[in-house]
C-alpha cells in the first residue's frame, strides 16, 4: 500500500523577538522661563505714561479721629479739589476727599453747605461699596456731617431723598456682622439722634420699623427710643402719643431682644409723661393718686390697642 505525502508537516520555527526592556523614567525639572528684561525695557509698545496700577492696601487708609482734623489754610481753594475727588473712580482718592470733607464740616461748615446734598449721595454710594476701608471712612464722615449740620440735613430737597437714603444705609451697616463697621454706624446713629430735632427725625425713622430685616427694625427701634426719651410732653403730643403707643405695642412682639427692650423704653417714657400730665407732678406720686393714674393708663391702652397688646403694654409699664 502506497503512503500519502504529509502536507501538514511542521513549519520551521521562526525566532521570537525579545521584548525591549523598559528603561527607568527620569523626571527632568524644567526651570521657569525667565522674562527677558532687556526686551521688556526696550519694548516700544510698552505704556510708560500709564504703568499698571497696584491695589492699595486697606491698612494704608488713615482712620483719623474727629479731634485730630485741622482747619485748612486756604479752604476756598481746597473745596473744589474735594468736590473733584469725590467724583473720582479711585477709591483711595475718595477716602482722602471724605476725610477732607470731615474737616470742612467741623471747621468750615459754611463753605461745604452748597455741596451738602452731593456729598450725602456720595456717602450713601460709598457705604454700599464692598471695600471695608471706604465703607468705614464714609460712615465716619457721615457722623461728623450729622454732628455739624443736624436739622439742616432735613431741609435737603425732598426729590433727592438723600437724607432718607443715608438713614437707611446707617441702619443697614449697624446691622452687619463686621464689628468695626457696626461700631462706627452706631456712633453715627447716636450723632443723628443727638443733633437732630427728635420730632422731625421720628417721621424718618418710622418708615424703617416695617423693614423686612429684623436687625434693621431693632436698630430703628433703638433710635426711636432715644428720640422719645429726649422729647418733651408737648412734642409727644405733637407727634401723637397714641401712634407711639401702637408702635411700642408692635415692637414688643418682635423677634429680637433689642427691639423689645426699645419698645419697653418707649412705653415707659409714654407712661411717665402720661402720669405727669394727669397729676401735674414732676417727681413721685402719692399712693392714692398713683392708683388713679394707673387706671387711666389702662383705660387709654385698652381703648387704642388690641386686647393682647394693651395687656403687654400695661405689664411692662405699670408696677405690679
Q: Which residues of 32-50 are buried (b: 16+ CB within 10 A; e: fewer)?
A: eeeeeeeeeeeeeeeeeee
Pair 293, 275: CB distance under 8 Å: yes
Residue with cell 433689642: 258
Per-residue confidence (pLDDT) for residue 134, from 0 to 100 = 93
The candidate with the shortest Cα–Cα distance to 172, out of 124, 131, 204, 137, is 124
Pair 93, 61: CB distance under 8 Å: no
Cell numbers for 312: 403687654
Residue with cell 393708663: 297
Residues, the chain: 320
Rounded mean pLDDT for each run of 10 residues along the chain, 320 residues in total = 52 54 52 47 39 47 86 90 91 92 93 92 94 93 95 79 94 92 95 94 92 95 96 91 94 94 95 82 52 86 92 87
Per-residue confidence (pLDDT) for residue 50, from 0 to 100 = 37
CA distance from start to end of the chain? 139
In sign, the C-alpha dihedral spanning 160, 164, 166, 169 is negative
Cell numbers for 13: 520555527
Pair 195, 147: CB distance under 8 Å: yes
Per-residue confidence (pLDDT) for residue 28, from 0 to 100 = 46
Distance CA 113, CA 105 (A): 8
Distance CA 267, CA 261 (A): 10
Cell numbers for 144: 461728623
Helix axes 162-174, 214-230, angle to 10 degrees: 110
Task: Pinpoint the alpha helices (H) of the chain.
Answer: 37-41, 75-86, 91-107, 109-112, 116-127, 132-149, 162-174, 179-195, 198-206, 214-230, 233-239, 241-251, 257-279, 287-304, 307-317
Per-residue confidence (pLDDT) for residue 48, from 0 to 100 = 38
Residue with cell 459754611: 110
E-only strand ranges, the chain: none
Per-residue confidence (pLDDT) for residue 20, from 0 to 100 = 59
Q: Which residues contact 173 (CB under 8 A, 6 or more apart)?
A: 127, 135, 139, 181, 182, 184, 185
Per-residue confidence (pLDDT) for residue 44, from 0 to 100 = 39
Distance CA 242, CA 106 (A): 39
Pair 278, 293: CB distance under 8 Å: yes
The candidate with the shortest Cα–Cα distance to 66, out of 99, 115, 110, is 99
**Cα angle value 115/118/123 (rounded, 5°):** 120
Distance CA 26, CA 15 (A): 33
Residue with cell 381703648: 303
DSSP state of 45: T
Distance CA 139, CA 170 (A): 8
Amino acid at each position: 500500500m502506497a503512503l500519502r505525502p504529509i502536507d501538514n508537516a511542521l513549519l520551521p520555527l521562526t525566532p521570537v523577538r525579545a521584548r525591549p526592556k523598559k528603561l527607568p523614567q527620569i523626571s527632568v525639572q524644567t526651570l521657569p522661563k525667565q522674562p527677558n528684561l532687556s526686551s521688556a525695557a526696550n519694548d516700544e509698545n510698552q505704556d510708560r505714561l500709564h504703568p499698571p496700577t497696584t491695589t492699595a492696601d486697606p491698612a494704608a487708609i488713615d482712620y483719623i479721629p474727629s479731634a485730630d482734623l485741622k482747619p485748612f489754610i486756604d479752604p476756598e481753594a481746597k473745596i473744589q479739589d474735594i468736590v473733584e475727588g469725590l467724583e473720582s473712580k479711585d477709591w483711595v482718592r475718595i477716602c482722602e476727599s471724605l476725610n477732607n470733607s470731615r474737616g470742612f464740616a467741623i471747621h468750615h461748615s459754611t463753605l461745604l453747605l452748597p455741596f451738602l446734598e452731593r456729598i450725602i449721595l456720595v456717602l450713601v454710594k460709598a457705604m454700599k461699596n464692598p471695600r471695608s476701608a471706604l465703607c468705614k471712612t464714609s460712615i465716619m464722615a457721615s457722623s461728623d456731617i450729622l454732628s455739624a449740620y443736624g436739622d439742616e440735613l432735613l431741609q435737603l430737597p425732598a426729590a433727592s431723598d438723600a437724607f432718607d437714603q443715608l438713614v437707611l444705609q446707617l441702619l443697614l451697616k449697624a446691622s452687619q456682622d463686621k464689628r468695626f463697621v457696626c461700631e462706627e454706624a452706631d456712633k453715627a446713629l447716636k450723632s443723628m439722634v443727638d443733633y437732630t430735632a427728635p420730632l422731625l427725625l421720628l417721621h424718618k425713622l418710622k418708615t424703617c420699623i416695617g423693614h423686612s430685616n429684623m436687625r434693621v427694625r431693632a436698630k430703628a427701634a433703638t433710635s426711636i427710643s432715644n428720640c422719645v426719651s429726649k422729647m418733651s410732653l408737648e412734642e409727644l403730643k405733637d407727634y401723637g402719643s397714641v401712634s407711639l403707643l401702637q408702635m411700642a405695642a408692635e415692637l414688643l412682639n418682635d423677634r429680637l431682644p433689642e427691639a423689645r427692650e426699645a419698645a419697653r423704653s418707649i412705653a415707659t417714657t409714654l407712661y411717665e409723661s402720661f402720669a405727669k400730665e394727669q397729676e401735674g407732678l414732676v417727681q413721685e406720686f402719692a399712693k392714692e393718686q398713683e392708683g388713679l393714674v394707673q387706671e387711666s393708663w389702662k383705660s387709654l391702652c385698652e381703648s387704642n390697642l388690641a386686647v393682647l397688646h394693651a395687656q403687654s403694654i400695661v405689664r411692662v409699664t405699670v408696677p405690679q
